[in-house]
Amino acid sequence: MSALESLVGDYLRLRRGLGFKLATHERYLTEYLRYLERNGQETVTTENILGWARAPGGAASYHGARLSVARSFARWAHAFDSSIEVPPRQLLPARSPRAVPFIYSDEQVLALLEQARLLRSPMVAATYRTLIGLLACTGMRVSEAINANRSDLDAGVLSVADTKFGKSRLVPLHSSVLEVLADYALTRHRLLGPVSTEALLVSSAGTRLIYKNVHRVFHRLVARAGITPKSQQCRPRIHDLRHSFAVTTMIGAYRDGAVPAEVLPVLSTYLGHASPGSTYWYLEAVPELLAEAGRRLGPLQAEEQS
């Protein structure tokens, strides 16, 4: 093993110990080491990082993401080997604009559920109706729902383990959600009989769902439901069911007279965010939520002026 390979291994172990998964980082850094080997280079320089980052085709934002990973490693490794160069910031500054959350209306969620019901395979139809309903009612991440096992559900609470940043949490489920999951379990057994996987949600073959397949089917359902983008940056994604749950919860808090500052940390914990600040980004610039905040603020301003 070369000195650079050893440093990459130490870097990944250190950051994973802090809770980062770094699957993409490991892939990129492995590719970078192979690039250095092919070109007969033994240390990290700004020039070879830039050459590697730009080597494949793709958008400038993709090249920028590759350079960012290599620069992060170089900055850490420089403390152990001063010959390692750290590329300047903003060397490839191009970034993709952050997607604007697409907030689904109740009618749009119902339309998605109806289109899922119409899928040709009865098992696939049942699975996607259950998956979409679960995401809409809990705000879970898609990966969390896919990775959930039947044994994770106990006494009305779903255990979500080793998720983003290595965190785990308990997700209490409403009785209506539990009824749907119970019906789904009966449907799964009726259509497939005993299945070998422990997965809560399964494919028509009785196997755990695959992330990219879920996205492909969801995009098909969105098209059939007639749900269109609001702008170039605001397109309907399955992840936006999570954003929609957060917004709906806060709107409900305003309308019920709850204290938003007290609800937000609870919602953040329920969603498995690292901090309420991450949840707050979900809530920015949503007209319905701003309207509710305005209604709450109006009487307070009038009281201060009186």
Q: Where in the sequence numbering do the catalytic residues fall? A: 141, 164, 239, 242, 273, 282
Say how many residues make up the chain.
306
C-beta contacts of 65-71 below 8 A and 24+ residues apart: 66/28, 67/91, 67/92, 69/24, 69/25, 69/28, 69/29, 70/28, 70/29, 70/32, 70/44
Amino acid at 173: L
**Which residue carries 């695959």 as its tokens?**
210
- Residue whose C-alpha is closest to residue 218's, from 120, 115, 137, 138: 115
- Residue whose C-alpha is closest to residue 42's, from 81, 75, 69, 15: 81
Question: What six digits make up the tokens of 306?
Answer: 């009186």
DSSP for 190-210?
Answer: HHH-S-S--BSSB-TTSSB--
